[in-house]
Amino acid sequence: MDISLKVKRFDPQRESEYAFQQEYVLDVPDYFTVLDALIEVRENVDETLAFRCSCRAAICGSCAMRVNGHATLACKTKLTDVMTSDQVVAVEPAGNLPVVRDLVVDMVPFWDKVHSVSPWIRPDGPEPEAEYVVSNDAMSHLNQVMGCIMCGACVSDCTVLEVDNNFLGPAALAKAYRFVADPRDGAVPERLNEYQKPGGVWDCTRCFECVQACPKGVAPMERIMVLREHVLAAGHKGTYGARHTRAFEKLVAHSGRLDELKLVPMTFGFFNIPKLIGMIPVAIRAAAKFKTPPLIHKPVQGVEKVRRLVKRVKSHQDATHGNRSNGVS
């Protein structure tokens, strides 16, 4: 099988600091993965090509990179699944992290953010006399998130990190959820207070990119949404993110659909003049594209059904949060 492997390369020792693309034409078996192809290049074509790999079994997470524009593990991605109709596969380093050389990125910023959420048990009270034994039922809801291999694929494709490096990111916040939901942890109030600050749970835009990129089904975005529920239940309702969420819920429950004209002042505050003035350019751009919301907002037909649905969802969320707080999935 002939393929064209186009690799985005970067050599810090070159005079130019710009990355460049290099194409390798290979004849490989159809069972080859992207990692197999890269190893073929390094061993038989160009020994200067740099990339990370270790287990080759989708366990260590070392070979996370972008293939055709999306983050994945090179060792589990078959060439036949991703090559274009003209048999081209484009490979780039993982996004949102500094490139060291070719497909190797600096993971220090990644680990710094993971470390910032205190990813360890912080028990409360005196040291126990015996081992703290947790039932399987109390930990079963953590099985999925504990499957994270820290590969950084979710961070690579996070659209928020592309524009705001202060965001903790999906990997760190998924890890934060793992300890908030652990019944052995005694520092949940302190954790939630930290996670609700700027750069925390409210900065996620719910684009689903991290959910699609995760090779282990951790679904970081869903963990962030649960953290938001915990933050609200803990009484942290004064941030713009919390106010935006509550305003969204109230407006939909009121008329059956979102009233965007009210959403902005309800989020920032009707008397927060600087913030409201700052939204004028956004309104102008929306008007230029004929995307302004209607001035007269009428309830939808059957709005009572919507209100009952909102009430049922809220009751379910409250019950779910109560169960998680008690260590029940």
> What per-residue confidence (pLDDT) applies to 329?
42
What domains are there in the chain, each with its CATH number?
2-105 (3.10.20.30), 108-236 (1.10.1060.10), 240-319 (no CATH)
Q: Provide the 3-class DSSP secondary structure of residue 252.
A: helix
Q: What residues of the chain score a pLDDT lower than 70?
A: 15-17, 320-329
Distance CA 8, CA 211 (A): 25
pTM: 0.86
Write down the residue that tokens 């900065």 correspond to. 203
- What is the reported pLDDT for 131? 83
Torsion, Cα 115 101 159 150, to 10 degrees, reads -40
Residue 328 has a pLDDT of 42
pLDDT at 94: 98
**pLDDT digits over 14-65, tens only?**
766 678 999 999 999 999 999 999 999 999 999 999 999 999 999 999 999 9
pLDDT digits (tens, 9 = 90+) for 104-132: 999 999 999 999 999 999 988 888 788 88
Can you give the pLDDT at residue 322? 61
Asked whether the CA dihedral 247, 249, 252, 258 is positive or negative, the reply is positive
Strand order in the sheet with 88-92: 20-27, 2-9, 88-92, 64-67, 70-73
pLDDT value at position 257? 87
